[in-house]
Amino acid sequence: MATIFRGTAAFAVGLFVIALIAAPAHARKLTYSSFLSANHPVHQALDKFFARITKETNGSLTFETFPGGSMGGGKAALNIVRDGLVDSAFINPGYMPSNLPMGAVIGAMFAPDTMATAGAANEMELFHCPGCAAELKKNGVKPLAYYATATYSLMCVKPIKTTDDVKGLKVRTAGGYNFLALKLGAVPVNLTASEIYEGLQRGQLDCVLGAPGWLQSYNLADLIKSIVDMPMGVYHGIPFFNMKQSVWDELKPSERQIIIKNLAKLVAELSEIYIAENEYARKIAEEKKIAFVKPDEKMVAAFTAYATEENARILEKAKKDGVKDADKMMARFKESLVKWEKIVGDIKGDPAKFEAALEKEIFSKLKP
């Protein structure tokens, strides 16, 4: 028995030694917070991204995520990164325009397409909007990747057949979409994304302007009865992956390089997930008997007027709010958007080619 015990003990000690040798000497856990649900496209893409970083750093960097607002809501995100409560967070400038006025202006501009806008937003805010980076840096935040949502539609708990059916309804909106709601004769309501389900359930909202994929990611399929079958642009300009500047500075150059090397894939995968989720929403809608309704001419005209006028309205408001060089920023964003619409058109929306384009045009130019 003593021989068996000694053999077992030696084996256990051997495993312990191997574990010590295999474990990274300076392993560090990084934390990420958002008010989004754990199954939201942002978290789906980030989970894959974090797993790749951990693998490629041989475990020297690991990640712990806090979804669902457990560390703070959307309006607290900037503060919790700045104050070191977490290392990174989903930061939406539209929720804090007084702290991030330039980022809020860029994010409010009308843009029609997921992939092209994701490319333009990253190119613009990482390289051509020093004010956007400066206002984040002032709060101790280093931006690393931006995204654009899937295309938005009008989704309601009541059957919608014409523009007249929308008049007077309470519609959850964000950013410039407030003015689209007004164009349609609706009443815009400002709630965070995490409050949408309860708002619809309790009658605070009749409709939401958002991605049809929210039927799944925000569990709206049991509440929504009709969706206007017309893409109404995308929400964008959100530095969804960032890091507290001091934490970024503490990482090894090799770790920073591995993170940068994976950013193009992160943005491309998130765009792909968003587009796929919108497509899958049609299957969910069919199962739940949710009607996709073609808009009438009045609604098309109202949306066209909004898309045409929105950027001019944003520029006028930015100037009143004292945002410097807002006109130059908006002109530069338009240039980037035209460039990326051509790129996405040429690659016919191929996700792998989109990732390669992001790497070539943007992320290969970031330095660790």
- Residue 16 has a pLDDT of 39
Q: Look up residue 339 and give its two tokens.
A: 């460039």
- Is there a single domain that holds both residue 59 and residue 110? yes
Residue 23 — very low, low, confident or very high, per pLDDT cuts 50/70/90? Answer: very low
pLDDT at 284 over 90: yes
Note the pLDDT of residue 177: 86
Sheet strands side by side (includes 291-293): 187-189, 170-172, 207-210, 153-156, 226-228, 291-293
Range of weakest confidence among 136-140, 188-192, 195-199: 188-192
Q: Tokens 């015990």 correspond to what residue?
A: 5
Contact criterion met (CB below 8 Å) for 117 and 234: yes
Higher model confidence: residue 23 or residue 147? 147
Mean pLDDT of the chain: 91
For 119, the domain range is: 25-146+237-284+314-365
**62-71, 173-182, 253-262, 346-355: lowest mean pLDDT where?**
173-182
Q: Tell me, what's the pLDDT at 24?
A: 56
Q: What is the pLDDT of residue 57?
A: 98
114 and 257 housed in the same domain: yes
| CA–CA distance, 232 with 241 (Å, rounded to integer) | 25
d(CA 215, CA 189): 19
**Pairing status of strand 170-172 against strand 141-148:** unpaired
pLDDT at 366: 95
**pLDDT above 80 for 98:** yes
Return the pLDDT at 19. 40
Separation of alpha carbons 314 and 108, rounded Å: 7
Give the CATH number for residue 280.
3.40.190.170
Regarding whether 213 and 171 lie in a shared domain, the answer is: yes
pLDDT of residue 25: 58
What is the DSSP code (8-state) at residue 157? S
Specify if 19 maps to a domain: no
> How many domains does the structure of the chain reveal?
2
Is 192 found in the same domain as 335? no
Question: Is 14 among the domain residues?
Answer: no
**Residue 12 maps to a domain:** no
pLDDT band at residue 221 using 50, 70 and 90 as cut-offs:
very high
pTM: 0.88
115 shares a domain with 35: yes
CA distance 106 to 21: 49
Domain holding 218: CATH number? 3.40.190.10
Which of 271, 304, 337 delimits the end of a domain? 304
